[in-house]
Amino acid sequence: MQGSSRRTGTMTDVHRRFLQLLMTHGVLEEWEVKRLQKHCYKVHDCNAPVEKLEDFIHNINSVLESLYIEIKKGVTEDDGRPIYALVNLATTAISKMASDFAENELDLFRKALELIIDSETGFASSTNILNVVDQLKGKKMRKKEAEQVLQKFAQNKWLIEKEGEFTLHTRAILEMEQHIRETYPDAVKICNICHGLLIQGQSCETCGIRMHLPCVAKYFQSNSEPRCPNCNDYWPHEIPEVFDPEKERGAGLSKPSRKSLRPRQH
pTM: 0.81
- Quote the mean pLDDT of the chain: 86
Position 75 pLDDT exceeds 60: yes
Residue with the larger pLDDT of the pair 221 and 250: 221
The whole-number pLDDT of residue 145 equals 95
Question: Which range among 84-93, 198-207, 213-222 shows the weakest confidence by mean pLDDT?
Answer: 84-93
The whole-number pLDDT of residue 16 equals 94
Give tens-digit pLDDT for 250-261: 554 444 433 344
- Domain extents in the chain: 13-89, 94-184, 189-241
Position 32 pLDDT exceeds 80: yes
Residues in CB range of 156: below 8 A, 6 or more apart: 26, 100
Position 104 pLDDT exceeds 80: yes
Give tens-digit pLDDT for 114-132: 999 999 999 999 999 999 9
Q: What is the CATH number of domain 13-89?
A: 3.90.1150.220
The whole-number pLDDT of residue 137 equals 86
Select from 1.20.1260.10, 1.10.10.10, 3.30.360.10, 2.102.10.10 the CATH code of 94-184: 1.10.10.10
Q: What is the CATH number of domain 189-241?
A: 3.30.40.10
Residue 111: pLDDT band with limits 50, 70, 90: very high
Give tens-digit pLDDT for 153-168: 999 999 999 999 999 9
The whole-number pLDDT of residue 169 equals 94
Residue 79: pLDDT band with limits 50, 70, 90: confident
Rounded CA-CA distance 34/167 in Å is 27
Position 262 pLDDT exceeds 50: no
The whole-number pLDDT of residue 223 equals 81
